[in-house]
Amino acid sequence: MRTRSRGGLPAYLFLALTATSAAPQVAPDATGVLTFVDSDEPQQKIVHKGKIAALRNVKSSKVLGDQPGVEIELSSDGKFPVRNELAILQIGEMQFDLSRYPDDGSTSTLIFTLTAEEFAKTVNGDPVTVQYGREEAYEIWEFGPFDKSRIE
């Protein structure tokens, strides 16, 4: 038996695609497990708390082409999920995306690397957050106000 098609799609696939008003979206819940999200309902923001574990001057950073920089080490009680999207550090209005997990592979710590020039432009007291992607995020990590005087 032959299946009719519409626009080159098999009939059952065409009906499945047109039966929904919007494509289903998948998002991680508070534990990091992917679940389907009804895009018609407002999404509740998930906020995790963390701390700025260290601010370190680095004389030569491989990720900066052996130039000097500053590492900002952030830790969270939970884990930072491994995603197919960049972790973004936001200090006030500035965003930074050069990050890594520590050498021991722990996913409860993220280390961001800034150039000396980028660090100089940051402002004391600005809120520090991490999110995935540059657009407005439904899940964020908050680290309190930035304190440049803590640099080692």
The residue ranking higher by pLDDT, 11 or 93, is 93
- Pairwise CA distance, residues 126 & 136, whole Å: 18
**CA 114-132-85 angle, 5° bins:** 95
18's enclosing H/E stretch is helix 11-19
DSSP string across 31-85: TS-EEEE-TTSPPPPEEEEEEEEEEEEEEEEGGGTSEEEEEEEEEESS-PPP-SS
Tokens 């995603």 belong to which residue? Answer: 83
Domain boundaries along the sequence of the chain: 5-37, 46-150
CATH code of domain 46-150: 2.60.40
Rg (CA), the chain: 21
Q: For residue 56, count other CB atoms closer than 10 A to its CB.
A: 15
Residue 96 carries which side chain, given as an amino acid letter?
Answer: F
Lowest mean pLDDT among 1-15, 103-117, 132-146: 1-15
Residue 110 carries which side chain, given as an amino acid letter?
Answer: L
Quick: pLDDT tens for 102-118.
Answer: 999 999 999 999 999 99
Write the burial class of residue 143 (CB in 10 Å: 0-12 exposed, 13-18 middle, 19+ buried): buried
SS3 of residue 71 by DSSP: strand
Quick: pLDDT tens for 37-69.
Answer: 556 666 789 999 999 999 999 999 999 999 999
